[in-house]
Structure 1
Amino acid sequence: MSIKWLDLDTPPHLPALYAHAAARRKITGSTLPEQGVRCWVAVAPKPLAAFRDLCGLTPSPLLPPTYPHLLAFGLQMQLLTAKDFPFPLLGLIHLNNRIQLIRPMGGVTELHIGVYARNLQRHPKGATFEVVTEVSDRIGPLWAAESTLLCKGVELPGETLEQPTAAALALTELTRWYVPSGIGRQYAKVSGDYNPIHLSAASAKLFGLPSAIAHGLWIKARALAALDSHLPADNLEICVSFKKPVRLPSEVILLASDPGSRGDFQLNGQGDLVHLTGQWRPLG
Structure 2
Amino acid sequence: MNRPWLDLHSTDTRASLYLRAASKRKITGSSLPAAGLRCFIRVQPGNLAAYRKLCHFTDNGRLPGTYPHVMAFTLQLQLLTAHDFPFPLLGLVHLHNRIEALRPLGGIDGLRFSVHADNLQPHAKGGTFDLVTEAEDGLGLLWRETSRMLVRGLQLDGQPAEPANTPAHPLPEATRWYADSDIGRRYARVCGDYNPIHLSVASAKVFGFPRAIAHGMWSAAMALAALGTHVPASKYVFEVDFHKPVRLPSEVILSASEPGPAGELRLDGHAGLLHMAGRWAVR
Q: TM-score normalised to the size of structure 1?
A: 0.97
Instruction: Note closer, same or farther for the CA distance 1:137–1:168 as it changes in structure 2 (3 Å cut).
Output: farther
1:151 counterpart = 2:151: yes
Q: In the TM superposition, what whole-angstrom CA distance separates every residue of 1:110-163 from its partner, at most 9, and x where no partner exists?
A: 100000000000011100000000001111111001000000111111222325
Equivalent residues in 2 for 1:1-284 (5 A)? Answer: 1-163=1-163, 165=165, 170-283=170-283
Instruction: Note closer, same or farther for the CA distance 1:2–1:49 as it changes in structure 2 (3 Å cut).
Output: same
* Sequence identity (%): 55
Deviation of the 1:12 alpha carbon: 2.6
Work out whether residues 79 and 115 of structure 1, in 8 Å CA contact, stay in contact via their aligned partners in 2.
yes
Deviation of the 1:166 alpha carbon: 7.3
Counterpart amino acid of 1:102?
L
Which deviates more, 200-209 or 162-171? Answer: 162-171
Q: In the TM superposition, what whole-angstrom CA distance separates every residue of 1:17-45 from its partner, at most 9, and x where no partner exists?
A: 00000000000000000010010000011
Deviation of the 1:193 alpha carbon: 0.7
Q: How many residues align?
A: 283
Instruction: Note closer, same or farther for the CA distance 1:165–1:177 as it changes in structure 2 (3 Å cut).
Output: closer
1:101 and 1:72 map into 2 onto residues whose CA distance is 15
Work out whether residues 167 and 264 of structure 2, in 8 Å CA contact, stay in contact via their aligned partners in 1.
no
**Structure 2: where are the runs of 5+ without partners?**
none
Counterpart amino acid of 2:123?
H
Counterpart amino acid of 1:224?
L
Q: 1:227 is paired with a residue of what secondary structure? A: helix
Q: 2:90 is paired with a residue of what secondary structure? A: coil
2:267 and 2:162 map into 1 onto residues whose CA distance is 24
Counterpart amino acid of 1:116?
H
Instruction: Note closer, same or farther for the CA distance 1:221–1:167 as it changes in structure 2 (3 Å cut).
Output: closer
Runs of 4+ in 1 over 3 A off after TM superposition: 163-170
Q: TM-score normalised to the size of structure 2?
A: 0.98
1:49 and 1:112 map into 2 onto residues whose CA distance is 21
**Structure 1: where are the runs of 5+ without partners?**
none
2:139 and 2:170 map into 1 onto residues whose CA distance is 39
Instruction: Note closer, same or farther for the CA distance 1:169–1:2 as it changes in structure 2 (3 Å cut).
Output: farther
Q: In the TM superposition, what whole-angstrom CA distance separates every residue of 1:71-95 from its partner, at most 9, and x where no partner exists?
A: 1101100110011111000011000
Instruction: Note closer, same or farther for the CA distance 1:13–1:266 as it changes in structure 2 (3 Å cut).
Output: same
Q: In the TM superposition, what whole-angstrom CA distance separates every residue of 1:197-248 from its partner, at most 9, and x where no partner exists?
A: 0000000001111000000000000111100121100110011000000000
2:10 and 2:86 map into 1 onto residues whose CA distance is 25
Deviation of the 1:2 alpha carbon: 2.9
Q: 1:90 is paired with a residue of what secondary structure? A: helix
Work out whether residues 164 and 241 of structure 2, in 8 Å CA contact, stay in contact via their aligned partners in 1.
no
Work out whether residues 196 and 203 of structure 1, in 8 Å CA contact, stay in contact via their aligned partners in 2.
yes
Work out whether residues 169 and 264 of structure 1, in 8 Å CA contact, stay in contact via their aligned partners in 2.
no
